[in-house]
Structure formats: C-alpha cells, structure tokens
Structure 1
Amino acid sequence: MYCIRPWLYVGNYRESLNYDLLYSCQIGAMLHLAEDVQQPNIVSRYIPVEDGQPLPFEQLKAGVEFARQEKAKHNRL
C-alpha cells in the first residue's frame, strides 16, 4: 500500500482484503475499481472499471466525489 497524501493511500485488491493492514494505516474509506470488498467500520464504494475500456465521465465523477466527501469527513482513503 502506498501513501500518496496523508489522507490518501493506493493499494491493490489483495491489500483491500487485509483488515489488519487497513487498520494499521487507519483507513476509514475505500474506493474499489476491480471488486467490491466490504470491511467492518470502513465506508466502501464500488465503481466497476474494465481494463482497457474508457471510463465514462459519470463514473469518474462519482469516484472523485466519493473521495472528496470522505476526505471532508476526515476518513483516510
């Protein structure tokens, strides 16, 4: 898992399954693009993205808005 900003981490699918890792990084929200993963006490949003396919603007907008809302709530993503 990589810290991009103090409030933003980027990780892979396997890391999103590891609750201990998420807890140690104090993750409070996750935006999923590959598979929907639910973890206790972590807000989650799934936006399906297919490799090699253009991302429709509305899906991009929904993902950015989710990240902004969770950051405003002081949830680390």
Structure 2
Amino acid sequence: MPGAEVFVNITPNLLNNEMTAPSEAIELITWQHFEQTDIRVGTIVAADEFPEARRPAYKLTVDLGPLGIKKLAPK
C-alpha cells in the first residue's frame, strides 16, 4: 500500500474495553518511512532486579539471534 499513511499509536481503554486513540495530536508516517523501520524480536534469557534505578526496574539480558546477546535496562 505505497503512499498510505499509517496510524501507529492506538491504545487499549481498559475501563471501557475499547481501543481508543490518544487525545493529543500524533505524527503520522508514510508507508515508505515505515518500511525503513528496523523491528526486531528477541528472547529474554534473564531479568535481574536493578535496585540502583530511580524507579523500580529490571536489567534484561536479551538474545537477538544473529545480533548476539544484549543487556538492557528499559525505562
């Protein structure tokens, strides 16, 4: 679907059991821009507590296959 705009930010409304768009304006991207996005899937092989973080967090070890194993501390 070349040239089509893609709405990328739909969130579930858990109170009403509906899917709703956020109230603030969001930026739309073109299909060509979306095709340039690098989306990867990995397997979490370890999740350790991260007590030094300001907010509760975990240090993740993720196996990304051919890219190797990466350590992350997502926010």
* TM-score, normalized by the shorter chain, greater than 0.5: no
State the TM-score, normalizing by the size of structure 1. Answer: 0.21
Radius of gyration: which is bigger? 2
Which of the two has greater strand per residue?
2
**If the length of structure 2 is used for normalisation, what is the TM-score?**
0.22
**Structure number with higher relative contact order (C-alpha < 8 Å, ≥ 6 residues apart):** 1
